[in-house]
């Protein structure tokens, strides 16, 4: 189902959407958990996808019930993941081609991520994606992160475009809910978390890859 309007801007999530980071994070989660002899299932980590760091940490503390243990787990996770980020994480298939199309047609672009700004800029720089965007809006720039609409509304404000004319590319459910709450048009490209019936009932577009997302967007561009 192609778009029925020409987007004034296209807003991109980062992790799991443009950058192949979720699998690396999941492996780091497993290793850090095993090091501390914690029995933490993959499903718990997958439930964090799309949420801010502070939201994830609060949920983890509730599960572990021990702040010192939480700090040890996060430290082990951070050390391992830092090595992946510094080495340069791969980008998703189709992202560069989609960005080239939007650049050619003069469509404004922004990254809208729950990740804190310093880390987001690091990832976008090491992957070579940063020069393709007009702005980066990070999770620590708003009080309420995804699934609240604040971060997407801030993106539209910074780009000077109406929220109703923005297309949002997201992999996570919190991101999709944030885009819908902001009055935007989301296209979901799921990564590790497969949309269930409740998610599909939201009525938004869901595609298998950014290649397919481009196929939806391109006919709507002037």
Report the C-alpha gap between 186 and 208 in whole angstroms: 14
pLDDT tens series, the chain, 222 aa: 789 999 999 999 999 999 999 889 889 989 999 999 888 888 888 888 877 778 888 888 888 888 999 899 999 989 998 998 888 899 999 999 999 999 999 999 999 999 999 999 999 999 999 999 999 999 999 999 999 999 999 999 999 999 999 999 999 999 999 999 999 999 999 998 889 999 999 999 999 999 999 999 999 997
Which pTM does this prediction carry? Answer: 0.88
User: Hey, what are 143's tokens?
Assistant: 């009080």
Q: What backbone phi and psi angles, to 5 degrees, belong to 38?
A: -100, 140
| Secondary structure (H, E, C), 172-187 | CHHHHHHHHHCCCEEE
Instruction: Decide if 211 contacts 94 (C-beta within 8 A).
Output: yes
């Amino acid at each position: 189902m192609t778009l029925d309007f020409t987007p004034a801007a296209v807003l991109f999530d980062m992790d799991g959407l443009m950058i192949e980071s979720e699998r690396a994070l999941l492996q780091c989660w497993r290793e850090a958990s095993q090091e501390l002899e914690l029995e933490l299932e993959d499903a718990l980590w997958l439930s964090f996808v799309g949420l801010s760091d502070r939201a994830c940490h609060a949920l983890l503390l509730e599960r572990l019930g021990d702040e010192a243990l939480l700090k040890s787990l996060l430290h082990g996770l951070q050390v391992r993941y830092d090595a992946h980020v510094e080495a340069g994480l791969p980008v998703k298939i189709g992202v560069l081609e989609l960005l080239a199309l939007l650049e050619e047609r003069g469509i404004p672009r922004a990254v809208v991520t729950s990740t804190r700004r310093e880390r987001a800029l690091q990832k976008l720089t090491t992957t070579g994606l940063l020069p393709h965007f007009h702005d980066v809006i990070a999770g620590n720039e708003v009080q309420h992160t995804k699934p609240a609409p604040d971060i997407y509304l801030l993106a539209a404000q910074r780009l000077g475009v109406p929220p109703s004319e923005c297309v949002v590319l997201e992999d996570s459910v919190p991101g999709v809910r944030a885009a819908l709450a902001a009055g935007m048009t989301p296209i979901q490209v799921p990564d590790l978390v497969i949309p269930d019936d409740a998610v599909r009932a939201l009525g938004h577009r869901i595609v298998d890859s950014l290649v397919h997302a481009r196929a939806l967007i391109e006919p709507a561009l002037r």
